[in-house]
Amino acid sequence: MSRKRHTAADEPHFLVRTVAADFADGDVVAPHAHPWGQLIYAATGVVTVRTEHGVWVVPPHWAIWAPAGVEHGLRFTGAASLRTLYVRPDIASVAPRSTVVTVSPLLRELILRAVRERMLDARERMHLALVELIVHECAPSPAPPLDLPLPHSARLRAVAEHLAGHSADRISHARLARRFGVGVRTLERGFVAETGLSLGQWRRHARFMDALRQLGAGASVKRAATEAGYRTPSAFVAAFRSSFRTTPGRYFRRSSSASRREET
């Protein structure tokens, strides 16, 4: 790690700031915003990022870009190693809204190198090269469906909050509508209009994201699938393979191996 001491005179020259912090299962960071854009990356564990517009559940190999000024809260599942970058807004903005970023092997190493340097300074040629590579690697790319859009109306938002907290609950749409004092058709049409997903699709995706969180906490595939409301573990494995092109076991073993390499 860089040993250079920084003073207030250095501030105008910083292009990227970094933070490295470790969190325990269940730790939360209250909603907040930054004047710089933030690349939120957990080298191990799973981080859930929540904004006004949606929720993202992000396992290793992916990150979330939170634009400058966008309020977001974090929740960690499993022992999580946060390695995050703050990018000066006049340098780059990955996207105008929060979005998933693919963490390639190169981007992972760039993030870790930047964290070791602590600050990337425009006066240092090597730092300029690191910033250029980081911005290039953060370009939008295809990513698995890790986001869960939230409805904006108060009543449908309350339904979504309930379902997100009880993803294994198989209550019928009719009973759910009665519980929240809304018609079934209004409920179903509202979810499509406000989230782009049917109510059934939204609930299935909420179960998938809940299972990801549980895997990040160290649960077995069988337990994660059962507690997230999947009828069989194989149904969850099929959904996982469709999104990540590998099995849950192989995915998280690969993440653990990368973490051990970081520590050595």
Alpha-carbon distance 264 to 261, whole Å? 5
pLDDT score of 24 more than 70: yes
119 and 50 belong to one structural domain:
yes
Q: What is the mean pLDDT of residues 4-13?
A: 75
Of 90, 108, 137, the position where a domain reaches its end is 137
103 and 179 belong to one structural domain:
no
17 and 133 belong to one structural domain:
yes
Q: Examine residue 3 and state whether it is found in any structural domain, yes or no.
A: no
Q: Examine residue 52 and state whether it is found in any structural domain, yes or no.
A: yes
Q: What is the mean pLDDT of residues 39-44?
A: 92
pLDDT of residue 69: 92
35 and 96 belong to one structural domain:
yes
Q: Which has more pLDDT, 145 or 106? A: 106
Of 106, 137, 168, the position where a domain reaches its end is 137
Are 14 and 120 in contact by the 8 Å Cβ rule? The answer is yes
pLDDT of residue 178: 93
Q: What is the three-class DSSP state of 101?
A: strand
- Residue partners of 17: CB distance under 8 A and separation at least 6: 36, 85, 86, 118, 119
Which of 140, 96, 131, 88 lies closest to 111, judged by CA? 131
Residue 165 CB-density burial (10 A; 0-12 exposed, 13-18 middle, 19+ buried): exposed
Per residue in 145-173, pLDDT (tens digit) is 688 899 999 999 999 989 988 777 888 99
* DSSP labels, 16-66: EEEEEEEE-TT-EEEEE--SSEEEE-BSSSEEEEE-SSEEEEE-TTEEEEE
Q: What is the mean pLDDT of residues 108-119?
A: 95
Residue 23 sits in a domain whose CATH number is 2.60.120.280
187 and 85 belong to one structural domain:
no
Give pTM, 2 decimals: 0.81
Name the residue range of residue 208's domain. Answer: 151-258
pLDDT score of 123 more than 80: yes
Are 58 and 100 in contact by the 8 Å Cβ rule? The answer is yes
Are 210 and 167 in contact by the 8 Å Cβ rule? The answer is yes
Share of the chain above pLDDT 90, in %: 50
pLDDT score of 1 more than 50: no
Are 146 and 173 in contact by the 8 Å Cβ rule? The answer is no
**Residue 14's pLDDT band (boundaries 50, 70, 90)?**
very high
130 and 155 belong to one structural domain:
no
Q: Examine residue 22 and state whether it is found in any structural domain, yes or no.
A: yes
pLDDT score of 100 more than 90: no
The mean pLDDT of the chain is 87
pLDDT score of 96 more than 60: yes
Alpha-carbon distance 243 to 224, whole Å? 17
User: Tokens 């250095």 appear where?
Assistant: 10
Residue 162 sits in a domain whose CATH number is 1.10.10.60
Per residue in 183-230, pLDDT (tens digit) is 999 999 999 999 999 999 999 889 888 888 888 778 899 998 888 888
pLDDT score of 129 more than 80: yes
